[in-house]
């Protein structure tokens, strides 16, 4: 029965493609989620005293970061 074999083959291809698409989509979502969660934890170094602190707590000036307003002022 060649007709049945082709149908099964097409079904198998469809299932494999669907599974591949699902896994790929899941991985992409997970990677994007990991990147979003990792972003706030990025550490920067104070250009004056070399203290490490989260980027969100640092004071940025140009491409440099400082741990506090005083160090930003002293470096400038």
Which residues make beta-bridge pairs with 45?
A: 52
Residue 48: CB minimum distance to Zn ion, A: 4
44 touching Zn ion, by CB under 5 A: no
Piece in contact with Zn ion (CB under 5 A), picked from 14-22, 24-32, 34-42, 68-76 = 68-76
Exactly one of 16, 17, 49, 74 binds Zn ion (CB under 5 A); which one? Answer: 49
Residue 49: CB minimum distance to Zn ion, A: 3
Residue 56: CB minimum distance to Zn ion, A: 16
72 touching Zn ion, by CB under 5 A: no
DSSP secondary structure string for all residues of 9-75: HHHHHHHHHHHHHHHHHHHHHHHHHHHHHHGGG-EEEBTTT--EEETTTSEEETTEEESSHHHHHHH
């Amino acid at each position: 029965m060649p007709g049945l074999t082709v149908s099964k083959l097409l079904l198998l291809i469809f299932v494999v493609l669907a599974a591949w698409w699902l896994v790929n989509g899941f991985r992409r979502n997970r990677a994007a989620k990991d990147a979003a969660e990792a972003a706030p934890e990025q550490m920067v170094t104070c250009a004056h005293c070399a203290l490490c602190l989260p980027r969100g707590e640092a004071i940025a000036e140009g491409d440099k970061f400082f741990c506090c307003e005083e160090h930003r002022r002293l470096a400038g």
